[in-house]
């Protein structure tokens, strides 16, 4: 069963009398443990799709099932719960709280989910994102890559089933971008489902499936799982971990 399944999604934004079709009859599904990338030119509807998939925005029409639950017509309070239990978000701008340390930023979702925020769990997440020794630093004292790692840690703390990332490397240099993608690949190998919107084709090709959007429509879906480069990368990462 798909962890996320969208059928005939349409999203229209209205600006005065003008109607802007951000998404046009999009069908989209993701299986558990899949690593999916979405690419496309600016204005193609990538972020709109990600926001609808993440229940941050509601589609104008169509249906979206998250973990078998139909989200269409759900109240905001129920959507909050659904998001909290299933989805972790990573944004291009990081959106870290500047007065909270890396550790506290990671801990923040636990305040809202009222889950037990024991220290060891936060330590584990810090370790996982490679910031074990930077937990007490404020965002202003961290590099862009480190801030994005904190944001990824924050997305992971509630044990989500899916991570949605919107241009997670958009503000980072290429070396740091590569490291962030490696982190995503590692998380995926641990069984986490990932959907990533990006402009960076090289990075997008590291996913198992790559969707291309243009003018609000999916124009192609490439299965990259068997591509040689991808296999090489997986083997390389497994060697590194061993």
The reply to whether 238 sits near another protein by the rule CB under 8 A is no
By CB under 8 A, which span of 24-32, 89-97, 193-201, 232-240 interacts with another protein?
Answer: 89-97
Closest CA to 28 of 213, 224, 214: 213
By CB under 8 A, which span of 15-23, 53-61, 189-197, 213-221 interacts with another protein?
Answer: 53-61
The reply to whether 61 sits near another protein by the rule CB under 8 A is no
By CB under 8 A, which span of 109-117, 139-147, 171-179, 212-220 interacts with another protein?
Answer: 109-117
User: For the chain, how far is it from start to end, CA to CA, in angstroms?
Assistant: 32
Phi and psi at residue 67, to the nearest 5°: 55, 35
The reply to whether 74 sits near another protein by the rule CB under 8 A is no
Single residue of 12, 56, 128, 234 touching another protein by CB under 8 A:
56
Separation CA 50–CA 213 (nearest Å) = 12
The reply to whether 97 sits near another protein by the rule CB under 8 A is yes
- The nearest distance, CB 151 to another protein, in angstroms, is 9
Structure tokens at 40: 């496309």
The reply to whether 93 sits near another protein by the rule CB under 8 A is yes
For residue 12, give the DSSP letter: E
Half-sphere exposure of 227 (CA within 13 A, CB side): 15
The reply to whether 54 sits near another protein by the rule CB under 8 A is yes
Helical pair 102-113 and 119-128, crossing angle rounded to 10 deg:
120
- The nearest distance, CB 205 to another protein, in angstroms, is 27
- The nearest distance, CB 103 to another protein, in angstroms, is 10
Separation CA 98–CA 113 (nearest Å) = 21
Separation CA 228–CA 135 (nearest Å) = 38
The reply to whether 167 sits near another protein by the rule CB under 8 A is no
Supply angle C-alpha 80, 84, 87, rounded to 5: 115
Q: Is 162 helix (H, G, I), strand (E, B) or coil?
A: strand
By CB under 8 A, which span of 23-31, 78-86, 188-196, 222-230 interacts with another protein?
Answer: 78-86
List interacting residues with another protein (CB under 8 A): 51, 54, 56-57, 76-77, 80, 83-84, 88-89, 91, 93, 95, 97-100, 104, 107-113, 117, 154-155, 158
């Amino acid at each position: 069963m798909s962890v996320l399944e969208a059928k005939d999604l349409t999203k229209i934004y209205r600006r005065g009398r003008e109607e802007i079709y951000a998404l046009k009859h999009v069908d989209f599904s993701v299986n558990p443990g899949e690593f999916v990338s979405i690419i496309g030119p600016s204005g193609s509807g990538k972020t709109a799709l990600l926001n609808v998939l993440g229940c941050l925005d509601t589609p104008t029409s169509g249906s979206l099932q998250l973990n078998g639950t139909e989200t269409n017509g759900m109240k905001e309070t129920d959507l909050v719960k659904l998001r909290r239990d299933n989805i972790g978000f990573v944004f291009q701008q990081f959106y870290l709280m500047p007065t909270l340390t890396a550790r506290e930023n990671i801990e923040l979702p636990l305040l809202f989910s009222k889950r037990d925020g024991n220290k060891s769990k936060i330590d584990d997440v810090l370790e996982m994102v490679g910031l074990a020794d930077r937990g007490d630093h404020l965002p202003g004292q961290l590099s862009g890559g480190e801030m994005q790692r904190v944001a990824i840690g924050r997305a992971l703390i509630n044990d989500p089933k899916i991570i949605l990332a919107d241009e997670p490397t958009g503000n980072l240099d290429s070396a740091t971008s590569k490291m962030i993608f490696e982190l995503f690949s590692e998380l995926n190998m641990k069984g986490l489902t990932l959907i990533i919107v990006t402009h960076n084709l090289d990075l997008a090709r590291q996913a198992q499936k790559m969707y291309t959007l243009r003018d609000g429509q999916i124009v192609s879906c490439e299965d990259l799982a068997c591509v040689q480069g991808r296999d090489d990368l997986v083997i390389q990462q497994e060697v590194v971990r061993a």
